[in-house]
Amino acid sequence: MRFTIGFDLDDRARVHRYWDEIFDTQQWTESKFTALFEERWASWNGLPSLAFSSWSGAAQAALEYYKVQGKTVLCPSNTFMATPLSVVKAGARLEFVDCNREDLCLSFEDLKRKADKFRPAAVWVVHIGGHIAFEIEEITRFCKERGIVLLEDCAHAHGASWNGRKPGTWGAAGVYSFYATKTITLGEGGILATADPGLLEYAKRSRNYGKPDYVVPGQNQRITEFGAALGVVQVDRLPDIVAWKKAYAEKHLDPRYPNRVKFPAGMVSGYYKYIVFDPIEKSTGKVYDQPCHRIMGRDDALPVSDWVAKNHWCVPLYYKGE
């Protein structure tokens, strides 16, 4: 199966219609489609949502709003460098937490150890591969008890749910990426989903140079109307994309790959990746080849993150791919 963008070619005409409207109205930014995309995403996610030009702009707004500067933020090492770098950029002290073999996500056991040791102000949980971290309930309860801000990196988790509950609804906020390889994409883009009205207001100013009062030291992280229009179409198509990948995985891949990530009852993965624990021919490679603590030249002991990097592979699974 060859890589195909998560986009249905049947949607081309609708995208073109929207783009023509943008040409006609001359509103290329900060207009109808940005608001519509946010509305549609909010309705899928069940949370007020704010569109950004990337994941990192939204993550930065959240870390700033929760005032992590000078404090410790815990982060899994089995993730993309964007997650730990957001902590570094926020001026916080970064400490890594190990992951589990079963879900490749943050280990609750190691989180408890690291929370005792480092007294963090915030924790990133990353829903690796498209499913929701299997220990999200325990992690959420623990963070609430300790007064730790929990942030969800949902960059892989479009279309996922667990007993109907969507990513981003456990923590204080969920941050999604719409980079070109993601389950749905706008080429580039991000979204912040949060029930915290204070964060929402802060983030609005943060993505737009602090307008209107310039109290928030924001920069430009706005999305274009062209991207947002594509986003409207993509959100509507998301259920089809996930249903197609799920049906394909269950029919063609599950019988072939018994040694794979197996989901608990009630979990629907968005199938960003299909992860197995045996080397395979024609793998698309790994979710991540190296854990972040290795890339950053640190010598933390994170044995499961090292194990996962060495022992998982991804089977090609692309929407309507052949």
Write out the residues near ligand PLP by the rule CB under 6 A. Answer: 54-56, 79-80, 82-83, 126, 153, 155-156, 177, 179, 190
Amino acid at 266: G
- C-alpha 147/C-alpha 175 separation (Å) is 20
Q: How far is the CB of 292 from ligand PLP (least distance, A)?
A: 10
The DSSP secondary structure of 143-171, one letter per residue, reads HHHHTPEEEEE-TT-TT-EETTBPTTSSS
Q: Which one, 54 or 169, has the nearer CB to ligand PLP?
A: 54
CB closer to ligand PLP out of 126 and 238: 126
CA max distance for the chain: 58
Report phi then psi at 34, rounded to 5. Answer: -60, -50
Query: Minimum distance from CB of 252 to ligand PLP (Å)?
Result: 25
CB atoms within 10 A of CB 151: 29
Looking at the Cβ atoms of 224 and 251, the one nearer to ligand PLP is: 224
What is the rounded CA–CA span in Å between residue 149 and residue 124? 9
Q: How far is the CB of 190 from ligand PLP (least distance, A)?
A: 5
CB of 119 to ligand PLP, least distance (A): 25
Beta bridge partners, 158, equal none
Min dist CB 96 to ligand PLP, Å, is 14
Q: Nearer Cβ to ligand PLP, position 80 or 248?
A: 80
Residue 270's nearest CA partner among 127, 95, 83, 123 is: 127
Token pair recorded at residue 38: 């946010």
Separation of first and last alpha carbons in the chain: 5
Closer by beta carbon to ligand PLP, 120 or else 129 = 129
Q: Is the CB of 156 or the CB of 158 nearer to ligand PLP?
A: 156
Q: To the nearest whole angstrom, how small is the minimum distance from the Cβ of residue 155 to ligand PLP?
A: 3
Contact yes or no for 58/218 (Cβ under 8 A): no
Residue ranges of E strands in 108-237: 122-126, 149-153, 161-162, 173-177, 190-193
Least separation in angstroms between CB 179 and ligand PLP: 4
Count helices and strands in the chain by DSSP H and E runs: 10, 11
In this structure, are residues 146 and 117 in contact, taking their beta carbons and an 8 Å threshold?
no
